[in-house]
Every structure is written in structure tokens, then in C-alpha cells.
Amino acid sequence: MTTTPIADVRARRGEEAVHETAARGMFERIAPTYDTLNRLMSAGLDRRWRARAVGEVEKGPPGPILDLCAGTMDLTAMIAEAIPRAEVVALDFSPKMLAAGRHKAPGAKVVVGDAMALPFDDGAFAAVVCGFGVRNLADPVRGAREVLRVLRPGGVFVTLELFKPSRWATRAFHLAYAQVILPAVGGLVSGDPRAYRYLASSMAGFLTRPEYERALAGVGFEAVRGWDLTLGIASIVCGSKRPGPTA
């Protein structure tokens, strides 16, 4: 029985259901310690990265905002604070992750659902943001198509992610982080070292930022652009949906 997800995104083809089931179970197990480890393992940088992503959401058109793969709702809370008049929806496939963060944004709507089969109407949102979640989807391209479907014309999609590094220095850091630091510290705090071995390996098994940018353009996003944060450890990629005739 598979107890951890498939780290290499290309190896998930044909095994999407296996990966999704294992990923959901993994996040359910680590939910109680997830926030603590995020702060510890990133030295607090993850909050700065999220703030940059929220800043890009603020540049988008007014309207409802979806926090995709919301996890423990850090981004949800930051969006609700930065854009208090917006309707904010947090979606994740792990009820325990959402429950662990529900107190952070009590005014947000919380939905348990699949990022690759979103339970929303076409054009429901003015903006969609995904923080550190695209890497864990069984099929990131299918997820991007769903985001495009639920966006309004002119709407924006902001991705904050740990892409496969292309800089040699960042690759060296990721390698040390993946093989030693994250499994050791993550396993010690959470009691689940396999989960943190997956999370580290999934960085190396994912797309590079340019590959992801091309994937977004390939499904129909316009004005796709991206940039690195903190020497390429994390990155932001933005794209928009073609404006309609009245946009």
C-alpha cells in the first residue's frame, strides 16, 4: 500500500488516484505540526514570500478570491487582512489542514474539494492564488485548466511555489535540504519522516519555473511572467485570463 505520494510529477501519469489518496493522507497526518515546521524550516521567510504573492493578488481586478490548496490558511488570512472587502474562499482536499487554520480567517468560506475538479461555476473568481500546492497536484496542467475555467475574464492567477531549481547554488541547497535537513527536522517534530522526505523530493521532481510558465501559456493564460525569491529557493508566477469584450 502506498503511504507517501509520488514525488516525481512525471511519474504520476496513470497513477493520479494513487498519488492523490496518498497526498491527502500525508497532509492529514502532518496537519497538527505543519505551521510550526513552516516557520522553523524557512526561518520565517515563508511569510515574506506569501506577502509578495498577496501583493500580486491586490493588483488584480476586484471580486471574489480563491485560495487554492489553502492548507492551514496562511494565505487566506493574509488576503482577508489586505483586501477586507473581498469574498475569500479557501479550498483544500484535507479537512484537517483547513480545520487547523480555520481560526486565522473566520470570515472566509471554507471548502473541502479537489483542485483538479473545482466545485465552482465558470468565471466565479476575480483572482486565484496557490501557495506551495501546485507541486502536489497529481496533474498540475489539469489544475491550471480548472483555474482558467473558474476565473473571470481579466482575472489573475498567482502561484507561489518551490520549483525545481535551475541555479547551481540553489540546486546544491535543495539537495542538502532534501537529503538531510527536512527529513530529520520534519520527522522529529511531526513524527512522520516519510512525509518530509516526499516534500523535499517533490521539489526536485517538479517543473522548473520556465517549464511551469510554458505550461500556463499552453493552457491559455496570457501575460505569464515569473521571478525568483531568495536566490531562487521560492518563486512567483503570474498569469491572467483573456479579457472579455466588456472587461
Q: Is residue 139 part of a domain?
A: yes
Q: Is the pLDDT of residue 180 over 70?
A: no
pLDDT at 108 (0 to 100): 98
Q: Is residue 75 part of a domain?
A: yes
pLDDT at 94 (0 to 100): 97
pLDDT at 246 (0 to 100): 46
Query: pLDDT digit string (tens) for 91-124?
Result: 999 999 999 999 999 999 999 999 999 999 999 9
> Regarding predicted confidence, which is higher, 169 or 56?
56
Question: Whole-prediction pTM value?
Answer: 0.93
Q: Is the pLDDT of residue 186 over 70?
A: no
What CATH number corresponds to the domain at position 23? 3.40.50.150
The 3-state secondary structure of the chain, one letter per residue: CCCCCCCCHHHHCCCHHHHHHHHHHHHHHHHHHHHHHHHHHHCCHHHHHHHHHHHHHHCCCCCCEEEECCCCCHHHHHHHHHCCCCCEEEEECCHHHHHHHHHHCCCCEEEECECCECCCCCCCEEEEEEECCHHHCCCHHHHHHHHHHHEEEEEEEEEEECCCCCCHHHHHHHHHHHHHHHHHHHHHHHCCHHHHHHHHHHHHCCCCHHHHHHHHHHHCCEEEEEEEECCCCEEEEEEECCCCCCC
Which structural domain range is residue 206 located in?
9-240
For the chain, what is the domain count?
Answer: 1
247: pLDDT confidence band, cut at 50, 70 and 90? Answer: very low
Q: Is residue 2 part of a domain?
A: no
